[in-house]
Amino acid sequence: MSASSSSKVVKQSTTTVKSSSSSSTSSSRKVSVKSSGLSYTDQMAGDLGIDVGKEMERLRLTMSDEMSNIHRDMFRLMPGSTDALQLTAGGGADSFLVKMDPEAIRSCIDKAHDDRVKLNFDVNEFDSETINIKTVGNKIEVHATKKSKKGDEERSEEFSRVYELPTSNDVDPDKVTSSIYKDGVLTIELPVADALAGITQ
């Protein structure tokens, strides 16, 4: 009797499994995928309440401004002591030295004369007679002195930048030209071929 009742339990158990299996099949159904006329970016923009086109343009302008500032800072004379200037001229690594890679050189090519590299500086605060430009190996050095008065005291400050060109040759000083314009812009020019001499392009 106990065996027979055990057999019933097994049958009931089997029935339960079947019933559970058929219930899982009936609850499975395919979900349709609808097509949206928007891109995911447009959808997110709508959810966040922003205009993606305007936001992208704002980011582009911000990036352009940042690049302009970086480029302008590369051509700003930096204040320093005479010792710092001598250290830089001797090849010391500090904020006065700008290493110009081929890409930086190309960004300085004169649009009107594409065979010349042009470096421009704002030298409004400097007396033109204090501006000194020289070449040392593959470097171009720019030094200037600014005089200022505070009461009866007259002070003199040294400013400098050194540009290390990617050329493997020494820069020929006879091929480097410079001009100061009446609006206070100092321009230093040299041939592109000389600035990139020995560099595989």
188 and 111 fall within a common domain:
yes
Give me the domain span that covers residue 43. 39-74
Q: How many domains does the chain have?
A: 2
52 and 122 fall within a common domain:
no
Q: Give the number of other Cβ atoms within 10 Å of residue 172's Cβ.
A: 12
Flag whether 51 is in a domain. yes
pTM over 0.85: no
143 vs 81, 123, 197, CA distance in Å? Answer: 11, 11, 25
Own/partner contacts of 172-177, CB < 8 Å, gap of 24 or more, are: 172/135, 173/134, 173/135, 176/133, 176/135, 176/140
pLDDT in tens, the chain (201 residues): 444 444 444 444 444 444 444 444 568 888 878 777 777 777 777 777 778 778 777 787 877 766 666 666 777 788 875 444 444 444 444 458 889 999 989 888 988 888 999 999 989 888 888 999 999 999 999 999 988 888 888 888 889 999 999 998 999 999 999 999 988 899 999 999 999 987 765
138 and 98 fall within a common domain:
yes
CATH of the domain at 163: 2.60.40.790
Flag whether 152 is in a domain. yes
Q: How many residues does the chain have?
A: 201
Token readout for 39 is: 């891109």
